[in-house]
Amino acid sequence: MKRILLTLIFTAVAFAAPPDIGSPQYELCKALEKMSFRYRDLGLVKKLVKKGADPIGECPGGFYPMYIAAERGVAPVVKYFIEELKIPVDAKQLRYSKSTGQYSGYTPLEAAIRTCNTGLAMYLLKKGANPHIVNLRDPLEEVIGEIYPEYKKALIEAAAYEMKDRVRFLVLKLYDCLMTVGLVIDYGADPNRRLSGNKTLLHVAAARGLPEVYEFLVKYGAREDVVDDFFYTPRDLKKKNIGDDPRSHPYYLDISLVYELLDEWRSERKRK
């Protein structure tokens, strides 16, 4: 009976009807989709919530307002939901796998990781967000396998054309991505957790030829001797795509500032 009830609950959540066009719920969803860390209208959000909009209710597309706010980087709205409305930081974390020991669900932290939003990720982790969250794609894998390489490619192109302002912007974005990954690992995420094909984050960094990311993950506990389904270790892929010494790679990015900031934040946590 308990299993049947749980199945009915999850089915109801998965197939919840989208909000009616023009309803407070619909208007809240659409308003948040237009916001960003530069443009946010907290007053409008509060007005729509008073009219009945639910921060964790259904939105068109299957997400929910609190998640959209996190994905758009609208930190004041996320903080309003958590601190004033007392919405649990992992309110939509629905599933737990006994076989992997991992949780899945589109939580605000998952959105902050995927967007390399270090400040929001730190806030959510301090509020108790679960760092073990994964979905069909591990958000840390998405950062290291897709988002970081895209920024890195853009940085190399900008440097070639001597676009100094863009270079500075992209370097900061890369720093944000690594700081976000480091924070999540510091709060308990396993740097050696298995991804598809039994690879790890270090396999991904080595396969994408990211020397500073490889060095960073090793420093944060990633193992070089883990074998994937194709019998490759990260060390094998590193030798092929990076070389023996990551720092001698022509596109190695100095990330000493990232290490300094993460060390500083770690020391601050220990003092508290």
- Give tens-digit pLDDT for 22-40: 999 999 999 999 999 889 9
Could you tell me the CATH superfamily of domain 139-271? Ankyrin repeat-containing domain (1.25.40.20)
- How many CB atoms sit inside 10 A of residue 40's CB? 20
The per-residue pLDDT for 10 is 38
> Is pLDDT above 90 for 12?
no
Rounded to the nearest angstrom, the gap between the alpha carbon of residue 260 and the centroid of all alpha carbons in its chain is 21
Residue 127, Cβ neighbours under 10 Å: how many? 16
Between residues 95 and 245, the one the model is more confident about: 245
Give the SS3 label for residue 102. Answer: strand
Q: Residue 158 is encoded by which pair of tokens?
A: 């900008």
Whole-structure pTM value: 0.89
Who's near 157: CB < 8 A, 6+ residues apart? none
Superfamily (CATH) of domain 12-126: Ankyrin repeat-containing domain (1.25.40.20)
Q: Is the per-residue pLDDT at 73 higher than 90?
A: yes
Within 10 angstroms of residue 33's Cβ, the number of other Cβ atoms is 17
- For residue 14, is pLDDT > 50? no
C-alpha distances in Å from residue 48, one per residue of 27, 67, 234: 7, 16, 50
- How does the average pLDDT of the chain come out, rounded? 90
Q: How far apart are CA 250 and CA 18, in angstroms?
A: 50
* CA 110 – CA 104 distance, rounded (Å): 10
pLDDT score at 194? 93
Q: Give me the half-sphere count of Cα atoms (radius 13 Å) on the Cβ side of residue 76.
A: 13
Domain with CATH 1.25.40.20 in the chain: 12-126, 139-271
What pLDDT does 9 receive?
36
Can you tell me the mean pLDDT for 44-53?
A: 98
Residue 117's contacts (CB-CB under 8 Å, 6 or more residues apart) are 70, 73, 111, 176, 180
Q: Which pLDDT does position 134 carry in this prediction? A: 77
106 has pLDDT over 90 = no
Tokens describing residue 139: 């958000």
- Which residues touch 32 (CB under 8 Å, ≥6 apart)? 45, 65, 68, 69, 72, 74, 77
Q: What's residue 242's pLDDT?
A: 98
To the nearest whole percent, how much of the chain has pLDDT over 70?
89
Residues 6+ positions from 86 with CB-CB distance below 8 Å = none
Q: How far apart are CA 154 and CA 198, in angstroms?
A: 30
At residue 11 the predicted structure's pLDDT band, cuts being 50, 70 and 90, is very low
